[in-house]
Structure 1
């Protein structure tokens, strides 16, 4: 029990204020709370299972720059889809989109959390305690991470019910965009350090400009659809 509490509170504190907690707030503008809980819970169980059982194998075989780049693209994709105004309850396609929603949350959370400090915490506990305590460490890490992230879900859900849709969508777009650009910057720095000497800032600025142009086009198209 002492080991469980130590792992639980360590993971809980490590996750507080993390990007994935804010990401979950943003996701509430796109998906139902049930879908976010299912996707997040599945991702947490898989991630912590990998961390505890496989130790550092994930980060050893997958380059950090690739993880950061994929995470950046995922954040920017959700920012663009948020400003596009596509709703999951859209007529005639609600059924398929609801089924897809937990998987979308799972993939986004998985990529964002992969290699994060909370996963490194789980890896450390798994290595220190050994396979004999792997189950306790896995459950403690998973519950601690989920308890912290559930706060993000509830905050997002309350904001969704108390604030206008446009305000929450704007907040979601801003969160995803900031995370996307910053994570892309981290990925580009890692590429320069470990792959090839690329010009980080020119590429980042060019990618940001392209992203802004795409978002403007999506916004204009959404406005035209609303007028029609």
Structure 2
């Protein structure tokens, strides 16, 4: 019981204010709370299971730069999709398939964002220190601690969604995803330059931002024109 509490509290504190907790606040502008909970819970169980049972093998086989680049692309994709919005009629007609897809989308986004994060490193450390005999307790403690912290992010996002004016939470989500995406991409490109080959990080960042901004502006204009046509 003492081990469980120690693992739970350590993981809970480590996740507070983390990027994935903020990401879940942003995701509430796109998905239902139920879908976010399902996707997040599944990702947490899988991630912590890998961390505790496999130790540091995941980080050894998957280069850090690849993790960062994939995470950055996921963040930027959600930023763009936030601008694009959802069509209400398509959402109603495709409700069943959308419910099935949403938890998977949340799972993939959370999984990539959390992979290699300090909370996973915490689970790896506990798993290595306590051994396989305590693997189950460590896994449950880490998973519940991480989920308890992230559920706060979900609830905050849900409350903001119901209390704030239309469009405000979507704007917040776009800003969060964009900042995370750009910063994470910078980290990934820097790791490529250091560990793989010399690349012009600044030039590639500028090019990426130009394409990203142009795409966002194009989608925003298209959305406005569509809204005028429906009015």
Question: TM-score per shorter chain, which class?
Answer: over 0.9
Contact 1:30/1:87 (<8 A) preserved: no
Contact 1:53/1:131 (<8 A) preserved: yes
The Cα of 1:172 is off from its aligned counterpart by 0.3
Secondary structure class of the residue paired with 2:43 = helix
Contact 1:8/1:141 (<8 A) preserved: yes
Residue 42 (structure 1) aligned with residue 42 (structure 2): yes
- In 2, distance between residues paired with 1:135 and 1:11? 15
Question: Counterpart in 2 of 1:13?
Answer: 13
Unpaired runs of 5+ residues, structure 1, are: none
- In 1, distance between residues paired with 2:179 and 2:204? 16
1:84-103 pair list within 5 angstroms: 84-86=84-86, 90-103=91-104
Unpaired runs of 5+ residues, structure 2, are: none
- In 1, distance between residues paired with 2:166 and 2:115? 30
Instruction: Please give the root-mean-square deviation of Cα atoms over the aligned residues, in Å.
Output: 0.9
Secondary structure class of the residue paired with 2:116 = coil
The Cα of 1:224 is off from its aligned counterpart by 1.1
Question: Counterpart in 2 of 1:215?
Answer: 216
Deviations 1:161-211 (A, max 9, x none): 001221010000000000000000000000001110101111011101100
Question: Counterpart in 1 of 2:200?
Answer: 199
- In 1, distance between residues paired with 2:80 and 2:106? 16
Q: Structure 1-normalised TM-score?
A: 0.98
Deviations 1:22-73 (A, max 9, x none): 0000000000000000000000000000000000010000000000000000
Q: How many residues align?
A: 228
1:1-228 pair list within 5 angstroms: 1-86=1-86, 90-228=91-229
